[in-house]
Structure formats: structure tokens, C-alpha cells
């Protein structure tokens, strides 16, 4: 890692005009043309070439691998410590419903982490000399195999990579299981693969841009859920938490589309699919990285369907308050339905009994 701050995104772009962001149609047509042309020209593509490319261009040390695993274990320990000594006692002190005391720490932990990580990504992109957000093609300017990774970006990679390593374990063994938990595990694996391989192949510049565009939605989601959990305290409903959860849900819905379905494809995928091969002919693992980015985009679209479902339920009056539409697995939903049916039947019995008394 290079301790000096490298001008990966600025020195090469001095004097160059910042490209105007394309539209969806232009992205699709240009990407199809470039990818098809690259595939047609890749006559030696196959396992042998992939193995050779991996050995020639992937750079990662055993010390970095050790730091990754140690940091992943550290996040797990930190989360458990915060849950036991801060989040759960605070939830109990605030007298939130007992069923939420066990679920709230998950959202509180993620809110703390993503706020920290997104703030650091924002600092790198807007308060340093990097111009990756304003000029996405610059992420591949001056790319060289095995080039040094600036220390500030290496720190971001260690933080994020180890967190997603921890998150794979946490989703399976620590978090409440939800309808999309399996998709969440796949998401974490793809994200960790992107982080690891982009670091090893020195595509760290575009990696920072990807992380910045995704973390903000996690902040808003967890902020909304925390306020939902704190909406009822001591049997009393608090208006301020209701307002905050509604504001969080609205901003989450808007920024999900803006960051993940607008900026992500038109900035990141444009640079990765089209300008990368122009700046670096025969760029290593071109198809592999773009396949992972496409998979990430498809999962963003999949989760956006949950958001549309949520908005539709609110607009049609099917949902009176903000809830996580992913919150319960089908077995839990059935249990809730059975409970509601039982309560309804009891209500009918009481009503019939009252009616009989009135008629007597």
C-alpha cells in the first residue's frame, strides 16, 4: 500500500472534459455493442486464459488476507458487545415491546456501521483530489497491473470487505430470518467477491464509487426500522418516531432509485462496460467483473419491487403505518394470520353472547 495520496482520478483527467452522463438507451446499446465486440475478439477465452490472467494480474498478500479475517471477527465481537451492553439494555430502558428488543439491535448496529462507512466514502469522493463521481471514466485512467493502492482507499476496502465477510455469518446465524434472507446472503457473497477481486486487480477506484452509491440506502433503511421499533414505548405511541419513520421511508424509496437504479448503471456500469476497455485494451477479467456488476443491478431491481409493493400498500390504504414488508417469513405470517383469525372468532363469540343478552 502506498502511503502517499495518489492522484488516480485527477492527474490524468487534468485538461480533459468531464463526460456527460448517458441515458439508459445509450448505455444498453453501447454496452451491447462493446461487450459483443470484446467477446468476438476474445479467441483464447477459456479456463486456461482465466487461470493465466489470475496468476499474472491478481495481487494480494497473506498479511492482507489475515487482516481481513481478523477484522471480520472483530466486527462480530463489536456487534455482540454493543448488542449486549448498549442496544438491548437501551431498548429495555425505553420500554419498547419485548418482541422488538431482540430485533432492534440488528438495525441499530447496521445504522452505526453504514453511517460510518458511507461518511468515509463521501469524504474520499468529495473532499479529496479523487474525481471518480464527477468523471466516472477516470476510474481507469493510468491503470497498471499491480499498481499501489492508496492507503486511504485500502482502509476503506479493509473496512468494507471484512464487514461483508462478517455479514455472511451474521445473516445466517445472528439476524432474524426473512423472506429475502437467502437473496441477502447471495448479495453479500457477490459484494465480497467484487470487493476482493477489484482490490486484487487494482480496480479499487471504481470500487469506492460502488460502495458510495449503495451504503446511503442502508443508512435510511436502518434509520427507518429503528424508529419503527421505538414508535411504541411503555405502551404509548410516540408521534415523533412515526414522523421520522415515514420521512426515512420516503427518502429511502427516492434515493434507492436515484443512487442504485440511476447513478449506478449510468456511472459505474458505463465506466466498467464501455470506457474501461477503451482506456485499458484487453483489461483483465472484463466479462467476470461486468457479470458481477450486472448481478448486483438485478438484485437492486429485485429489492426495488419490495419498495414498490410497500408504496402501493400505503397508497391503497392496505398499510396504515411503516413496516418492513420483508419482516416475516411465511411461517410467521401464517402464525400471525391464525392469531388474528382466533381473535376475530373470539370477538364474534363475545358479540353473539352480547346479542343474546340483549334479546333476552
Query: Could you read off the pLDDT of 85-132 as tens digits, one per residue?
Result: 999 999 999 999 988 898 899 999 999 999 999 999 999 999 999 999
Query: What Rg do the C-alpha atoms of the chain give, in angstroms?
Result: 24
pLDDT of 1 > 60? The answer is no
Given this model, what pLDDT does residue 323 score? 58
Q: Which helix (H) or strand (E) holds 344?
A: helix 330-359
Bridge partner list, 233: 236
User: b or e along 265-281 (b: 16 or more beta carbons within 10 Å of the residue's beta carbon)?
Assistant: bbbbbbbbbbbbbebbe
Grade residue 194 by pLDDT with cuts at 50, 70 and 90: confident
**Residue 192 CA: distances (Å) to CA of 25, 89, 187, 228, 289:** 30, 32, 8, 30, 12
Asked if residues 227 and 244 have their Cβ atoms less than 8 Å apart, the reply is yes
Given this model, what pLDDT does residue 190 score? 86
Given this model, what pLDDT does residue 192 score? 92
Query: Per residue in 307-335, pLDDT tens?
Result: 888 877 766 766 666 655 455 444 444 44
Of the listed ranges 9-18, 41-50, 227-236, 296-305, the least confidently predicted one is 9-18
Bridge partner list, 150: 2
Measured CA to CA, the distance from residue 121 to residue 207 in angstroms comes to 10
Query: Per residue in 272-314, pLDDT tens?
Result: 999 999 898 888 888 888 998 998 899 899 889 988 888 777 6
Greater model confidence, 274 or 357? 274
Instruction: Give the dihedral sign, CA 253/211/168/55.
Output: positive
Cα-Cα end-to-end distance for the chain: 88
Measured CA to CA, the distance from residue 62 to residue 44 in angstroms comes to 31
What count of other Cβ atoms lies within 10 Å of the Cβ of residue 10? 17
pTM of the prediction?
0.80
Asked if residues 76 and 166 have their Cβ atoms less than 8 Å apart, the reply is yes
Grade residue 10 by pLDDT with cuts at 50, 70 and 90: very low
Measured CA to CA, the distance from residue 2 to residue 347 in angstroms comes to 71
Amino acid at each position: 500500500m502506498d502511503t502517499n495520496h495518489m492522484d488516480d482520478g485527477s492527474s490524468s483527467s487534468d485538461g480533459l472534459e468531464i463526460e456527460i452522463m448517458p441515458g439508459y438507451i445509450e448505455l444498453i446499446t453501447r454496452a451491447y455493442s462493446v461487450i459483443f465486440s470484446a467477446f468476438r475478439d476474445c479467441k483464447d477465452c477459456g479456463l486456461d486464459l482465466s487461470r493465466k490472467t489470475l496468476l499474472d494480474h491478481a495481487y494480494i498478500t497473506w498479511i492482507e488476507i489475515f487482516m481481513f479475517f481478523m477484522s471480520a471477527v472483530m466486527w462480530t465481537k463489536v456487534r455482540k458487545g454493543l448488542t449486549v451492553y448498549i442496544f438491548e439494555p437501551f431498548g429495555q430502558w425505553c420500554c419498547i415491546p419485548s418482541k422488538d428488543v431482540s430485533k432492534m439491535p440488528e438495525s441499530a448496529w447496521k445504522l452505526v456501521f453504514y453511517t460510518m462507512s458511507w461518511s468515509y466514502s463521501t469524504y474520499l469522493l468529495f473532499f479529496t483530489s479523487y474525481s471518480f463521481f464527477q468523471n466516472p471514466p477516470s476510474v481507469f485512467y493510468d491503470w497498471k497491473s499491480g499498481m499501489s493502492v492508496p492507503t486511504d482507499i485500502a482502509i476503506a476496502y479493509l473496512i468494507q470487505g471484512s464487514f461483508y465477510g462478517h455479514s455472511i455469518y451474521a445473516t445466517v446465524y445472528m439476524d432474524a430470518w426473512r423472506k429475502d434472507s437467502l437473496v441477502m446472503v447471495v448479495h453479500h457473497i457477490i459484494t465480497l467477491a467484487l470487493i476482493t477481486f477489484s482490490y486484487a486487480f487494482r480496480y479499487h477506484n471504481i470500487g469506492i464509487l460502488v460502495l458510495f452509491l449503495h451504503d446511503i440506502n442502508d443508512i435510511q433503511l436502518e434509520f427507518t426500522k429503528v424508529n419503527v421499533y421505538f414508535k411504541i414505548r411503555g405502551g404509548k405511541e410516540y408521534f415523533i418516531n412515526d414522523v421520522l419513520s415515514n420521512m426515512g421511508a420516503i427518502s429511502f424509496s427516492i434515493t434507492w432509485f436515484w443512487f442504485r437504479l440511476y447513478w449506478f448503471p449510468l456511472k459505474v456500469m458505463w465506466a466498467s462496460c464501455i470506457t474501461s476497455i477503451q482506456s485499458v485494451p484487453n483489461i483483465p477479467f472484463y466479462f467476470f467483473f461486468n457479470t458481477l456488476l450486472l448481478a448486483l443491478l438485478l438484485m437492486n431491481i429485485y429489492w426495488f419491487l419490495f419498495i414498490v409493493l410497500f408504496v402501493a400498500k400505503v397508497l391503497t390504504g392496505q398499510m396504515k403505518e411503516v413496516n418492513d414488508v420483508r419482516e416475516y417469513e411465511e411461517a410467521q405470517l401464517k402464525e400471525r394470520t391464525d392469531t388474528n383469525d382466533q381473535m376475530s372468532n373470539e370477538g364474534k363469540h363475545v358479540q353473539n353472547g352480547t346479542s343474546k343478552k340483549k334479546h333476552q
